[in-house]
């Protein structure tokens, strides 16, 4: 181990002295100028960063260190690491900040490159990154050190966390900006301070996208993506994107268009292949082939596709006259249709079919749709069916709906209104992840479980769970930073780890269970807040003695 990683002193957090025994070296996170440690305080993990000994007395590096803390301390964004405190001990200055449990995108590319082969993952990553940059830029801060090692993905929900403001430019510290070598824009490399602006950060984003297009040329090597990257990395800063929001919108359009193109290409290939096979069959088999095709049509009707009312449908059963929706009809004249209405019935070849489900990825990344109405009769919305519909505002679901697939509305950033039907007994994994505008939801009676990361990073302000709920799976409400109050019914017997981590506004928890549930790591990340737990009057002392529950700042009877 590097001898510099041995800490001889103490640090202070919120007037609490932390000894060296509570500090764990993190050599894998150390940089060329800084050392990193994990610090535990009141059950919560923090990251401590300090200058290496050879830089500890260097005025320039001390200025950069002070700038990083003072700039970071005044900023607060869900995808930016949180700065907690700064101090000095026998080993020099140190900064204490949020501990990010995850890995950098550089590490992810090394360990699991296939993750970036999914356009859904890339769209989500860059959407969150550009959202964070937009926030920084609106607060007069340029990051100026964007590179794979400074962009982290959280372990549970793969959310972006932008770290390291050491090289940043702000109005207060305009003479201490830095540059990061490979990802520096020309004006940055040449030290032209007067020329830098938001385009300097967007230049680095363009280089990150270019790296992906080089690694996965078949996925991200299209002309539209190449043009977007080319604009981002123009030597002349005036020719680049004017804002992070403008670049984010352009990227969404490119990825959405590519998704449509892949669907068109796949359908065209299937159609041509079908025509060729049919011609060969008719030529070789004559009447026998015709008889076979009739039988095949009756027994395997699920392979028959047709278009109706702007939808692409697939026949499930000719016997039951049922079909599914597989997406938009891409050949339909009106592709600007903002309302998607899935009707209960449709027709094909003079037969009336009942629509019973919406298939996987049917409307994935559809940026046109703003309102969704699903009629009675539909029983299932499959996985990713409306994922990343960034402009979807309102959803109307039928009473007939029984199940929803994972990630069904994940990444619908604008979604504000949805009413869940009473027939739903489980909300699946990541169903509403990143639904940042969804502030309220009515949990129906009959709901029994909420899946892993279901509402992670959503905009919920309260969660009054129904009396039928039995299980909250890990990370169910992870990173719901607006969540202020939670009501847990007495039917709830399982609360998964990280369920309410990073719910920084959560000050009131009402637990109706007379017996404390067994929990391990549900609230601990934010228990430094003054949070009150309300429980049945006869159970107050039980909760005050129960592991983890007893860490609440106050435990009071429900009727108080």
Which domain CATH number covers 407? 3.80.10.10
Predicted confidence at residue 232, as pLDDT, reads: 95
Is residue 264 included in any domain, yes or no?
no
Both 138 and 19 in a single domain?
A: no
Q: Are 90 and 106 part of one and the same domain?
A: no
What is the average per-residue pLDDT within 149-174?
Answer: 87
Domain boundary among 419, 448, 468: 419
Residues 93 and 14 in one domain: yes
Same domain, 401 and 450: no
pLDDT > 90? residue 7: no
Lowest mean pLDDT among 333-342, 460-469, 482-491: 333-342
- Indicate if 113 and 187 belong to the same structural domain: yes
> β-pairing, 339-342 with 345-348?
unpaired
Is pLDDT of 292 > 50? Answer: no
Q: Using a CB cutoff of 8 Å and minimum separation of 24, what contacts does 139-142 make?
A: 139/74, 139/75, 140/170, 140/171, 141/71, 141/75, 141/165, 141/168, 141/169, 141/170, 142/168, 142/169, 142/170, 142/177, 142/196, 142/197, 142/198, 142/200, 142/201
Residue 42 within a domain: yes
Reported as a pLDDT band with limits 50, 70 and 90, residue 173 is: low
Indicate whether 109 and 238 sit together in one domain. Answer: yes
344: DSSP letter: S
Structure tokens at 121: 């993952």
131 and 209 in a single domain? The answer is: yes
SS3 of 63-74: the string is HHHHHHHHHHHC
Q: What is the pLDDT of residue 141?
A: 94
Please state the φ and ψ torsions of residue 532, each to the nearest 5 degrees: -110, 135
Which residue range forms the structural domain that includes residue 507?
425-560
Evaluate whether residue 292 is within a structural domain. no
Terminal Cα distance for the chain, rounded: 54
Confidence at residue 529, expressed as pLDDT on a 0 to 100 scale? 62
pLDDT digits (tens, 9 = 90+) for 409-419: 999 999 999 98
Residue 190, pLDDT score: 83
State phi, psi for 56 to the nearest 5 degrees: -60, -30
For the chain, the domain total comes to 4
pLDDT of amino acid 26: 87
> 480 and 445, same structural domain?
yes
The pLDDT tens digits of the residues spanning 461-473 come to 999 999 999 999 9
Is 396 within 8 Å of 365 (Cβ atoms)?
no
Is residue 226 included in any domain, yes or no?
Answer: yes
| Biggest CA-to-CA distance, the chain | 93
So what's the pLDDT on residue 81? 96
C-alpha span between 186 and 366 (Å, rounded):
36
User: pTM score > 0.75 for this model?
Assistant: no
Q: Is residue 363 domain-resident? A: yes
User: Is residue 263 exposed (0-12), middle (13-18) or buried (19+ Cβ within 10 Å)?
Assistant: middle
pLDDT for res 262: 60
% the chain with pLDDT above 70: 84
Does residue 332 sit in the same domain as residue 383? Answer: yes
Q: In sequence order, what are the residues at sequence separation of 6 or more whose Cβ sits closer than 8 angstroms to the Cβ of residue 262?
A: none
Residue 142, φ and ψ in degrees, nearest 5: -110, 135
Does 545 score more than 90 pLDDT? yes
Environment class of 174 (CB within 10 Å of its CB; exposed 0-12, middle 13-18, buried 19+): exposed
Q: Are residues 251 and 111 in the same domain?
A: yes
Do the Cβ atoms of 242 and 146 come closer than 8 Å? no
Q: Span 489-496, mean pLDDT? A: 94
User: Same domain, yes or no, for 17 and 139?
Assistant: no
Residues 396 and 455 in one domain: no
């Amino acid at each position: 181990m590097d001898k510099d990683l041995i800490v001889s002193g103490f640090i202070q957090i919120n007037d609490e002295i932390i000894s060296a025994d509570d500090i764990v070296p993190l050599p894998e996170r150390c940089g060329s100028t800084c050392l990193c440690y994990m610090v535990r305080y009141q059950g919560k993990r923090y990251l401590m960063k300090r200058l290496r000994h050879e830089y500890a007395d260097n005025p320039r590096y001390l200025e950069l260190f002070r700038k990083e803390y003072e700039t970071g301390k005044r900023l607060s964004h869900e995808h930016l690491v949180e700065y907690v405190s700064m101090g000095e001990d026998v080993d020099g200055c140190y900064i204490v900040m949020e501990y990010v449990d995850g890995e950098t995108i550089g590490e992810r590319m090394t360990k699991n490159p296939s993750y970036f082969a999914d356009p859904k993952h890339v769209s989500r990553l860059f959407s969150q990154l550009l959202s964070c940059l937009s926030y920084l830029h609106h607060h007069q801060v340029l990051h100026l050190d964007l590179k794979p090692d400074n962009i982290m993905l959280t372990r549970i929900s793969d959310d972006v966390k932008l770290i390291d403001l050491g090289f940043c430019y702000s109005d207060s510290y305009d003479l201490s900006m830095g540059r990061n070598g490979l990802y520096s824009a020309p004006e940055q490399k040449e030290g032209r301070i007067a020329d830098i602006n938001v385009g300097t950060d967007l230049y680095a984003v363009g280089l990150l996208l270019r790296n992906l297009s080089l690694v996965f040329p078949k996925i991200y090597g299209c002309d539209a993506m190449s043009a977007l990257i080319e604009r981002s990395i123009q030597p002349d800063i005036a020719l680049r994107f004017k804002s992070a929001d403008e670049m984010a919108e352009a990227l969404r359009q490119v990825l959405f268009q590519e998704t449509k193109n892949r669907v068109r290409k796949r359908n065209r290939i299937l159609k041509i292949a079908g025509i060729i096979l049919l011609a060969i069959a008719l030529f070789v088999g004559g009447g026998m082939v015709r008889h076979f095709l009739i039988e095949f049509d009756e027994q395997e009707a699920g392979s028959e596709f047709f278009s109706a009312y702007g939808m692409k449908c697939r026949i499930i059963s000719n016997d039951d006259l049922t079909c599914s929706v597989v997406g938009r009809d891409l050949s339909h004249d009106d592709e600007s249709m903002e309302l998607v209405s899935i009707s209960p019935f449709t027709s094909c070849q003079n037969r009336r079919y009942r629509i019973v489900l919406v298939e996987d990825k049917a409307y994935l990344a559809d940026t046109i749709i703003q309102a969704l109405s699903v009629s009675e009769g539909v029983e299932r919305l499959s996985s990713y069916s409306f994922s990343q519909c960034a402009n979807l505002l309102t959803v109307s679901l039928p009473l007939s709906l029984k199940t929803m697939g994972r990630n069904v509305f994940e990444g619908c950033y604008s979604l504000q209104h949805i009413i869940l039907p009473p027939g739903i007994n489980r909300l699946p994994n990541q169903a509403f992840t990143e639904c940042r505008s969804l502030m309220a939801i009515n949990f129906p009676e009959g709901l029994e479980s909420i899946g892993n990361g279901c509402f992670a990073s959503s905009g919920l302000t309260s969660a009054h769970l129904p009396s039928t709920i039995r299980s909250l799976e890990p990370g169910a409400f992870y990173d719901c930073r607006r969540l202020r109050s939670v009501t847990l019914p007495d039917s709830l017997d399982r609360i998964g780890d990280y369920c309410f981590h990073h719910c920084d506004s959560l000050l009131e928890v009402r637990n109706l269970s007379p017996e404390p549930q067994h929990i391990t790591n549900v609230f601990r990340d934010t228990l430094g807040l003054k949070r009150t737990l309300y429980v049945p009057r006869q159970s107050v002392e039980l909760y005050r003695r129960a592991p983890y529950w007893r860490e609440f700042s106050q435990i009071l009877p429900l009727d108080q």
